[in-house]
Amino acid sequence: MCIIYHKMFLFGSLTTLLSVTSAALGKILYAGVNESGGEFGVFAPGQPGFGLPGRFGVDYAFINKSTIDIFVDQEKINFFRVTFLMERMCPLSFGLGSRFNETYFSEYADAINYITETKGAYALIDPHNYMRYNDPSQQPFSGSVIGNTSDPTAATTAQFGQFWHELARRFVNNPKVVFGINNEPHDMPTQLIVQNNQAAINGIRQAGARQLILAPGNGFTGGHSWNQTTGANDAPSSEFLNTLVDPLHNTAIDIHEYLDIDFSGGHDECTQPAPSNLAFLTTWLRQHNLKAVISEFGGGNNQNCFQFIDDMLSYLAANDEYIGWSIWAAGPIWGTASPCCGADTGSLEPGMLNDLGQPDAFTTVWSQAVRPNIPKNLKRAGVSSLS
């Protein structure tokens, strides 16, 4: 309680004390939640193509507008990461590129426009594809790695650039979108991630879009492993992610950081402290004059995790290198399932129950550990940006 009070005072005072406090105080511009559901309904080992294209509102859905109302009107957050599946946006019969399934796009655009235009919040556009395309049946491991020139069935880096050019073109006049290049690349050369990221940035800027871009690294873009090899000896993200070129200087690093033993978000116990695990990343960001958004993190329904989440969000608020965060996850069709942090935690969708018939993580994790850390002075207007 004491800590919370202190933090509110600091944020409330930020504008008046700017010159005194800016060195010590970070500036979180975006705070919010993942809206997951657009990628659902395809997991079926051994059955590639299962659930494609899928049925809107049955196999997949993007948001519940009433939920968005609760988060914006009552919780005062300003940031939603909205997932979709590239195999639905670009059906396999079209291939990855600039030809979209207009039905799926319009369903997605309706969610994005509701968040941004009706509610005035920022929406992070998230192709939830692990930098792979053509077989989501065993995500995160199935599908050809984009740009793998040894795989004749793989989409090319150029196609990925065309895909982003088209997506950005369609949102070019919406200042409140943020472009997340891809969810959690892993087990691929880090140099190829950078090539694909660069193709996406080029496509977005060539479309005339000026909004904030988030670029992921390797190893599921984990912050704790930023300076480590991941997969089968793939180079650390820290060796390459600083080489991206954005002519508008409006690209930040996209980081995921879970707090359980293996950083997966699969366990209900929190044992990995974010402040020490992110220390290298923070220094690297500062050295390269870069910013980061933690677009996925989470913790289970227990006091220990509440403390770990509070420690993490306090750390992000205190370090200028971090400009936003969104917790995993709410979404309209999780039901009693748990997107993160043990089977009994439940989702962050307001008003739902967990698998035991008890209130879900919106009532527990969100109210105990997230709500007290929602800054009062989030960015409310203007083109999404680093400041």
Ligand X SMILES: *[C@@H]1O[C@H](CO)[C@@H](O)[C@H](O)[C@H]1NC(C)=O
**Footprint of ligand X on this chain (CB under 6 A)?**
36, 39, 53-54, 56, 64, 66-67, 91, 93, 101, 103-104, 128, 145, 148, 150-151, 188, 227-228, 258, 264-265, 279-280, 328, 332, 339-340, 350-351
Using CA atoms, how far residue 92 sits from 58, 65, 161, in Å, is 21, 30, 17
Number of residues that this document lists for the chain: 387
Q: Which two structure tokens, joined as six digits, stand for 59? A: 């196999």
Nearest C-alpha neighbor of 274 from the set 300, 310, 302: 310
Complex with ligand X: residue 185 or 372, whichever CB lies closer = 185
- Shortest Cβ distance from residue 355 to ligand X (Å)? 15
184 labelled catalytic: yes
- Shortest Cβ distance from residue 341 to ligand X (Å)? 8
Of 75, 87, 166, 184, which one is the catalytic site residue? 184
Complex with ligand X: residue 54 or 161, whichever CB lies closer = 54
- Shortest Cβ distance from residue 271 to ligand X (Å)? 15
Complex with ligand X: residue 209 or 214, whichever CB lies closer = 214
Complex with ligand X: residue 134 or 250, whichever CB lies closer = 134
- Shortest Cβ distance from residue 144 to ligand X (Å)? 7
Complex with ligand X: residue 29 or 90, whichever CB lies closer = 90
Of 39, 107, 166, 296, which one is the catalytic site residue? 296
- Shortest Cβ distance from residue 28 to ligand X (Å)? 22
| Residue 79 bridge partners (DSSP) | 32, 122
Nearest C-alpha neighbor of 277 from the set 240, 222, 321: 222
- Closest residue to ligand X, judged by C-beta, is 265
- Shortest Cβ distance from residue 142 to ligand X (Å)? 11
Q: Which two structure tokens, joined as six digits, stand for 209? A: 């879009």
- Shortest Cβ distance from residue 206 to ligand X (Å)? 26
Q: Which two structure tokens, joined as six digits, stand for 325? A: 């965060």
Complex with ligand X: residue 127 or 350, whichever CB lies closer = 350
Angle at CA 134, nearest 5°, toward 102 and 201? 70
Q: How far apart are CA 262 and CA 271, in angstroms?
A: 9
Complex with ligand X: residue 29 or 52, whichever CB lies closer = 52
- Shortest Cβ distance from residue 149 to ligand X (Å)? 8
Complex with ligand X: residue 159 or 211, whichever CB lies closer = 159
Catalytic residue positions, numbered: 184, 296
